[in-house]
Structure 1
Amino acid sequence: MKIYEEWVESLSQVGIHPISDDTVAKILAIVYVYGGSMELVFNMKMAIDISYSIKRAKMIGGEVPDVSIANEVKRYIKDIEDFLKNAKSVKSDSPFAVEHPQWVKDFMEERYNIKKMWI
């Protein structure tokens, strides 16, 4: 993961966005909604992406957030929260096993190899 972290840092230092704004918005929305999940805490690639996303969206310190990214984050958060309001439980021993939006499941599996999400 050190190479990935250095790659992200190097590109961002020269003004190249290694992660698209849409992906940044998805990452930040997922972190907002699922923030306490172990999947997010122990996934090193996601930790690197979260750190970059916060900087890219200017959601750190006293900076004025990037409006277009912030609006996309809000849209994704609303989509997830609206879905979870009516989410059905999945057959499991865990009370946190619920259905999630398809785009969240696909995104987490494709980007981070996370196949199950718990909230």
Structure 2
Amino acid sequence: ARRVRRGDVLRNAPYLVVPCLVMDGSHTYGDARRDGAEREMFVVAAGAGVQNLLVALAGERLGSAWVSSTMFCRDVVREVLELPADWDPMGAVAVGHPAEEPRPRTERDPGAFIEVR
């Protein structure tokens, strides 16, 4: 029950965005190492795109939450959303107005998590 409740943020959101990894434009090198690196590069770019979306939503004073669940049932998501077979759902982003203002955060010392060499 606790695990199912974690999905409430998606079920209760007024809008959902399902970012998908699409390998259009990628290169095929013919060896597993380079082909794997090409896909990995696209996965990193998709993550950066999701992060940019979250930042843009915050700039519009909208609440958002990225949830990875669609990555565990990609075939179901493709079928329900009628997506092409080569689109890989990369989680889902719940979007709506925040229930409350964010709590103030304590200031952090960047030296605690940034290493300069």
More helix by proportion, 1 or 2?
1
Q: Same fold (TM over 0.5)?
A: no
Q: Which has more radius of gyration?
A: 2
Choose between structure 1 and 2: higher strand proportion.
2
Instruction: Select the structure with the greater relative contact order (CA < 8 A; seq sep ≥ 6).
Output: 2
